[in-house]
Structure 1
Amino acid sequence: MQIVLVDDEHVSIFITRKMLEREGLADEIHTFELPEEALRYVQSKLPGHAPNVILLDLNMPGLDGWAFLEALQPYEAQLLGQCFIYILTSSLDPTDTVRANEFPLVSGLIHKPLDRIQIRTIFDQVVTRQS
């Protein structure tokens, strides 16, 4: 499984990457502190080689998570069923959940920090949906 992690906080990237590695579910983990770089990476993999999972922070300077999702909308047909986006957020704002539901590419919203159970749930959901 190929995972792309997009978060502007170096410590969050470090912790999440270590947890993913410890669970051993990812063949490849690509991390990006700049969402613009992550977006270019995902676009470069289309068609046919999109990551299986994108873990996306919402609150980032410049291009935030919402703008990242909007930038992927033209590629929605290529990504649906192939790439599953999970929003990672420390926000408890209920409008985030409502807004996330407006994006068909978003498979779930997870409150930081990501834990072992959430990682296993993501893996199970992705494997089930890709079968």
Structure 2
Amino acid sequence: MKVFLIDDDQISNFLTEQVLAEENFASEIHAFESAEEALNLLLQDVPQNIPDIIFLDLNMPSINGWEFLDALRPYSQYFKDSCHIYILTSSLDLADTVRARDYKLVTRLIHKPFDTEEARLILQEVSGEPDEHPF
């Protein structure tokens, strides 16, 4: 599985990578401190560069998470069946949760810090396994 981490906070990327490594989550993890850098790579060769999962921070300089998602809209047919996008944010603003629902490419919003339980839940979601502990 190929994963992109897009967060301008190097420490947040490091911690998320550690959780993913602990859970043997992915064979490839690419961390980007700039949404623009990740976007450029993705759009260089659509659909070849599309990862299985993108963890996306919202608050970043230059291109924020919302702008990143807007830039993907013209390519949504390539992403919708092959890539799960999780917004990974420290924001507790309910408006972000509501706004995330407007983006069909977003699987769901996750509040930081990212932990092993969340990683396991995502693995179940993307593999199509039923949740052992339904809410």
C-alpha separation in 1, matches of 2:50 and 2:118: 22
Matches within 5 A, 1:1-131: 1-128=1-128
Q: TM-score normalised to the size of structure 2?
A: 0.92
SS in structure 1 of the partner of residue 15 of structure 2: helix
Cα drift, residue 49 of structure 1? 4.5
Moved segments of 4+, more than 2 Å: none
TM-score after normalising by structure 1: 0.94
Could you list the runs of 5+ residues in structure 2 that have no partner in the other structure?
130-135
How many residue pairs get aligned? The number is 129
Return the offset for 1:44: 2.6
Corresponding residue SS for 1:108: strand
1:60-93 Cα offsets, whole Å, 9 max, x none, are 0110000000000001011101000000110110
Q: Give distance in 1, aligned partners of 2:44 and 2:118.
A: 28
Give the residue type in structure 1 aligned to 2:8: D
Determine if contact 2:42/2:50 at 8 Å carries over to the other structure. Answer: yes
The Cα shift of 1:20 comes to 0.5
2:128 match: secondary structure: helix
Question: What value does the CA root-mean-square deviation take over the aligned residues?
Answer: 1.2
Residue identity matched to 1:85 = I
Paired letter, 2:97:
T
- Report if aligned partners of 2:89, 2:110 keep a CA contact under 8 Å in 1: yes
Asked which structure has the greater CA Rg, the reply is 2
Partner Cα distance (1:82, 1:44) in 2: 17
Structure 1 residue 48, shift from structure 2 partner: 4.4
* Amino acid aligned to 1:3: V
Identity %: 48
